[in-house]
Amino acid sequence: MNIVRALDVALPELPERLVRRSHPKLDPTIISKQHVENGQPVVLVKKPGTDLVFRFAPAQWQLVQLFDGKRSFAEVAELYSQESRAEIAEDSVRELASYLQSDTPLLYKTPLEQNIMLQQELRTARKKRSRFQIADFSDITVRVWDNADAYVTWLYPKLRFLFTAWFVWASLGMFVLMGWMWADRLGEIWSDSFAFYNFTEKSLTDLLEFWFLFGAMAGIHETAHGLVGKHFGARIERMGFTLMYFAPSFFCDATQVWVLAGKWARIATAIAGIWLDLVICFLATVIWFATASGMAVHDWSYKIMMVTGIGVSLLNLNPLIKLDGYLIFSELVHEPALKEESTEYLSAWVRRNIFGLRVEVPYVARKKRPFYFTYAILSGLYSYSLLSFLMVITYHILQKYSPEWAFIPALAIGYWVFRARIRLAVKFMRIVYLDKKESAWVWLRSRQGMAYTIAFCLFVFLPVWPEFVKAPFVLEASHRVQLHAMVPGTVSAVFVKEGDELTRGTPVLRMHNLQLESERDAAQADQLTAAAKARQASLSYADLATAQQQERQAEEILSVLSARMAQLSVISPIHGVVVTAHPADLVGSSPDRGDPLIEVSDTSRLNARIYVPEFAMRDVAPGGRVRLLVPGRLMPVNAVLGSLSATEASIPKELVSQEQLQGLNPPHFYVGLVTIANDGNLREGIAGTAKLFVRKTNIAAQAWRFTRDLVNRKIW
């Protein structure tokens, strides 16, 4: 039988008897110091080896110090009244002693009492432990070193130079020099600092490398906290190695600084880890900057930069979670328990003012309330986003192997991470239900309640809600003409520019062709000669038929060459807009026959090319109503879906965000065409969102359909 079991059997009532029969005694190992917070004196008290720091008013602490284990409650009350000249009742002293005994570790406990407390804690833990309890892997303590003060005391003299003025100024210079070395590749380093923590693309070797590298830097980071705490006279009570969601982590208990030292010493202790990280980052930057790409030392120094540089520093300096930045921020705003107090205030306010529960809202000064509200909301959102990180990482890793089923283990991880909060939410909703059950039934039976119930049912089940399918679209011209060179030549003049509106027959450009012009002039001379010969033959009646035939041939040749000359002047065959960029650049060029010159689009009517997603194809059909939401226009353009392609079409990347195009199963799209009249305010290439009307439905049917489709996609 072990000692815990023996105590359980033989001494079940001993704790209460010991508390009643012995006089309270302040633990002699307690450390304390008076500070000024928010303009008021306060005494900070801590027992080494524990995590809590207690705050007492000077008068309260004066009373607590009178507990020496020899004086009775009456004697303590009488002595306090004599020293402070303030009367205090014996019952008040007894109540304070009871609080200190049960809720704090400040009173001295004999070894026997400590064993009894251990037995009670084990008994309580045994009752809470369920038969099929899942182990909590969120924070696994691997090793704790209770003699950490000896390690820091041994290391402190060797690194005492870290606390000299010259090193502080030198380190600031290091940070400036590091920024200069980063200047040319700052964008790359910035993105790599966060991409380095993306585990979806890492191999097993990369993960092991990251694990050991991150663990080593975490150990150095926490040692820095201990060194600064030792510098300001604190005793480093313990250090430890833990696994937080299987990631290596260290902790260093330097909380004595918060009792023994002042504000700036606390801030220095909190920022010490980040400061030393940046010093190491500077040394790694120097090696990375001085070595050649491909060398092992070059690659390792760059990875050390990722672990100790921008990403880790920003994460640690974030005041929304209880890391170094939070400790610094709470000291600057003089709110030592900011997160707890703001969260408690917001929670109580919501329960009382939104859910109508009868709870007491902690008092907060009016000028502090907006700050408490803002901080509690932002801190909660950020904390939950970090807790969701493991679930998201799990999903992205498994998505490469099973895109359809990766959500199941991801949801399981999410439940494991949030299970305590889910239980709290369920418990809270049960409290709300029990509190509102009677009043809710009374209200539902009233006329007003029945009216609201009927209105709610109509809202949910009446099919008056239009159902639309949203799809991106882009406008394009209904008719587009590419003007080509009909004859070879050199462009001598361009009469239009991009965006000009043309009417049919408007000259666009002119070319010249010396050979063609010479042939036309020669043909014109030949035609005049043939005409003269024909007139002479008609007067002499000699070879008249031959002369007339030669005249006709000359006229035909001249007509053909004149027509080719006319083709040197290019005109627009349609009403439209010039869409060719910089047409004036054609001047001086020598296009050959058939070469493209200028493109003209008829924008009087436009086609909207709508990219309908695959899952909506069952609901969309030609002839359905379409509303085109054009950017910059207040009212949508109403139209009718003219046609719908039966084959898949590729969608321009600018119409869909890049994230949607990644993965093993990118979305598929089909093209629907809508023709609309242009009122003069629409331009080709404008993109927007189309809403294709499907039917009128109700909310209940939409919810049922969504659930049914989800089950069909994932199971069948």
Residue 166, token pair as written in the block: 């010259």
Cα–Cα distance measured from residue 91 to residue 104, given in angstroms and rounded to the nearest whole number:
19
Mean pLDDT of 689-700: 84
Residue 588, token pair as written in the block: 């001086």
Q: Are 223 and 158 in contact (CB under 8 A)?
A: no
Q: How confident is the model at residue 132 (pLDDT cuts 50, 70, 90)?
A: very low
Residue 377, pLDDT score: 92
Q: What are phi and psi of 604, to 5 degrees?
A: -65, -30
Topology adopted by domain 600-714: Elongation Factor Tu (Ef-tu); domain 3 (2.40.30)
Cα–Cα distance measured from residue 409 to residue 713, given in angstroms and rounded to the nearest whole number:
17
Residue 122, pLDDT score: 56
Q: Which residue has the higher pLDDT, 187 or 125?
A: 187
Q: How confident is the model at residue 714 (pLDDT cuts 50, 70, 90)?
A: low
With tokens 């950020």, the residue in question is: 382
Closest CA to 626 of 609, 608, 640, 644: 640
Task: Please tell me the number of Cα atoms within 13 Å of 406 on its side-chain side.
Answer: 16
Residue 134, pLDDT score: 45
- Res. 141: pLDDT tops 60: yes
Q: What are phi and psi of 622, to 5 degrees?
A: -55, 145
- Res. 221: pLDDT tops 50: yes
Q: What share of the chain is helix, strand, coil (3-state, %, to 5)?
A: 55, 20, 25
Cα–Cα distance measured from residue 611 to residue 661, given in angstroms and rounded to the nearest whole number:
14
- How many of the other CB atoms lie within 10 Å of CB of 61? 19
Closest CA to 258 of 433, 529, 44, 493: 44
Residue 17, pLDDT score: 44
Closest CA to 276 of 302, 309, 250: 309
Q: How confident is the model at residue 201 (pLDDT cuts 50, 70, 90)?
A: low
Residue 7, token pair as written in the block: 């105590």
Residue 58, pLDDT score: 86
Residue 360, token pair as written in the block: 């007491």
Q: Which of 15-29, 336-350, 379-393 has the highest mean pLDDT?
A: 336-350
What would the pLDDT profile of 313-335 be if each residue is shown by its tens digit? 777 888 888 888 888 888 888 88
Q: What amino acid is encoded at 424 in this protein?
A: L
Q: Are 692 and 468 in contact (CB under 8 A)?
A: yes
User: How remote is the C-alpha of 636 from its chain's centroid?
Assistant: 32
Closest CA to 25 of 64, 77, 83: 64
Residue 245, pLDDT score: 67
Residue 378, pLDDT score: 92
What would the pLDDT profile of 441-491 be if each residue is shown by its tens digit? 887 778 887 888 888 888 888 887 888 888 888 888 777 788 888 888 888
What would the pLDDT profile of 522-542 be if each residue is shown by its tens digit? 877 777 777 777 777 777 766
Average pLDDT for the chain: 79
Mean pLDDT of 673-699: 82
